[in-house]
Amino acid sequence: MSDNKRSICVIGGTGAQGSGLALRWAKAGHTVSVASRDEAKAKAAAQELNAILGSDRISGTDYVTGAAAASIIVLTVPFASQLSTVTALKEQLAGKILIDVTVPLVPPKVSTVQLPETDSCVVNIQKLLGPDVRVVSAFQNVSAHKLKKLDYDIDCDVLVTCDDKNAREVGIALARDAGLRGIDAGPLANSAVAEALTSALIWINRKYKVPDAGIRITGLDAVAER
């Protein structure tokens, strides 16, 4: 667990993945808010999460207020909302770290890879925001439904990519605080691997009738510990 406690706002934090990550980071001691366009919905979600946690560590707020107050913003909205959400928050994101969990899933063929022409939807966000925001890509391949089970050891690695080394290390530390193993996967362009892999994992889940296929990077046990 990291000793460096941070202020984190999870945009889209009322959804399954966002709320699960928020819960685990709050348990690790970070200051966490879950944000929605509907503030009342966010407050209700925070109350539910605090009941699981057994303490009032998580707050609920609207997108703008939450992003303005936090030093790290985590984007967990659907692909269809990614661009519009980030565009609306450009002012609040300035000078901060944005961890983007977005996967370019296009219904109904979510088990078929459909990357944008530029290869990575997260790279597109970095281009939109410019160098003043350090965009990190992570957590795309983590099954959401186990995150809220705080005592469950999720058997999955997290590929963390970013063009800024220090921001990558922040992403890796937050993966560890969520009970996962973060793997430094290099520059943000490599995010296309994790984005595409999600559709393959959805296919695997359906084919083999399992709920949470994930990935493990082998050969790192001696150098990369949880």
Q: Which residues have CB under 8 Å from 119's CB, separation 6+?
A: 189, 192
Output the pLDDT for position 1. Answer: 54
The whole model's pTM is what?
Answer: 0.94
Output the pLDDT for position 226. Answer: 45
Q: What is the mean pLDDT of the chain?
A: 94
Query: How many Å apart are CA 5 and CA 93, to the nearest integer?
Result: 19
User: Please, are residues 155 and 144 in contact by the beta-carbon 8 Å criterion?
Assistant: no
Look at residue 206 and give its three-state secondary structure: helix
Give mean pLDDT, residues 48-61. Answer: 96
Output the pLDDT for position 80. Answer: 95
The reply to whether CATH 3.30.310.40 applies to domain 7-208 is: no
Domain residue spans in the chain?
Answer: 7-208
- Degrees (nearest 5) of the Cα angle 113, 224, 97? 60
Q: Say if residue 54's pLDDT is above 90.
A: yes
